[in-house]
Amino acid sequence: MSAMSNCIGCPKRCLLVEDDPTFAQQLKEAVQIMGLHWSIDVVQTGAEAQELINKSNRKLDLVLVDLGLPDMHGNEVIRCAKKAYPDVPIMVVSVLTSERNLLDAIRLGANGYVIKNDTSLSISHGIMSVLEGSYPISPQLAQYLFRLAGSPKFSMTQSFPELTPKETSLLRLLSLGNTYGQVADTLDIKLSTVQFHIRNLYKKLEVHSQAQAVAKANSIGLFDNENGMGLSMSGVGTGIGMLMDAE
């Protein structure tokens, strides 16, 4: 077993990067009430977060990060976390609501983006969704999805690497919003096999998250001829992927 793997029986590990102690406590409680055994590291600065990420001997299972940190932009923490743990789910919880912050965070590998004035219940649901493989986004930010979906910058002539039939099937299932576990059940393969194919997909597509992979496939119409299937807007989770290549 890798030194970076979680040990059997150890609690799941969350990194919480938030400089407001009161809100940090609210987020900590939101994680703890999910009923799982969590070890939560709370830091107030980006530098502390990067040090913890780089020196840790155990992988992270979840990262919650504010973008408006006192010493750096939270996107630098996202970049660092994704480099160290490519598969770790990351959710932004921030007061920053600009389109640029949203786009940059997702392109760096954020799996969800909620704003601090959302209800506590909405934020808790967002955390649950990220852990289940979905891509939550605050309703206030959802307008960007629809505007960018119609952007002519979504080119249909991009080149696309050759994928194996298994990789194509897996990517198609991900485009429908399935979690890794659901994909494993549908394809009748082990979860570890799904994760193996995911890593290969990321390398071939030159992306860093499930949302980015799905967005890249849909941006060139990879699934257009498969029963009319394209990127579904029925769920915010899959819709968030369309932000990746909008510019």
Question: Per residue in 89-136, pLDDT tens?
Answer: 999 999 988 888 888 898 899 999 999 988 888 888 889 989 988 888
Whose tokens are 């496939």? That residue is 217
pLDDT at 14 over 90: yes
User: Confidence class of residue 82 from pLDDT cuts 50, 70 and 90?
Assistant: very high
Please tell me the CATH code under which domain 12-140 is placed. Answer: 3.40.50.2300
pLDDT of residue 75: 94
DSSP per-residue codes, 74-107: HHHHHHHHHHH-TT--EEEEES---HHHHHHHHH
pLDDT tens digits for range 199-246: 888 888 777 777 777 766 665 556 554 433 333 333 334 344 444 444
Percent of the chain topping pLDDT 70: 75
What is 165-243's CATH topology?
Arc Repressor Mutant, subunit A (1.10.10)
Q: Stretch 166-182: mean pLDDT, rounded?
A: 80
Residues 6+ apart with CB under 8 A from 8: none
Comparing 16-20, 89-93, 132-136, 170-174, which segment has the lowest mean pLDDT? 170-174
Q: Stretch 153-166: mean pLDDT, rounded?
A: 60
Whose tokens are 């949203």? That residue is 102
pLDDT of residue 46: 96
Instruction: Give the integer Cα–Cα distance in Å for 41 and 81.
Output: 14
Q: Do the two domains 12-140 and 165-243 of this chain adopt the same fold?
A: no
What SS3 state is found at 169?
A: helix
Whose tokens are 């921030």? That residue is 94
Percent of the chain topping pLDDT 90: 31
Taking the model in full, what pTM does it have? 0.62
Instruction: Give the integer Cα–Cα distance in Å for 13 and 63.
Output: 9
Element (H, E) at 22: helix 21-32
The two three-digit tokens of residue 243, written as one number: 């932000």
pLDDT at 1 over 70: no
Instruction: Give the integer Cα–Cα distance in Å for 224 and 230.
Output: 6
pLDDT at 178 over 70: yes
Comparing 29-43, 54-68, 84-98, 210-224, which segment has the lowest mean pLDDT? 210-224
pLDDT of residue 7: 60
What length is written for the chain? 247
The CA-based diameter of the chain, rounded to the nearest angstrom, is 51
Q: What is the distance, to the nearest Å, from the Cα of residue 215 to the centroid of all Cα atoms in its chain?
A: 13
pLDDT at 67 over 60: yes
pLDDT at 144 over 90: no
In the chain, what are the domain boundaries? 12-140, 165-243
pLDDT of residue 51: 95
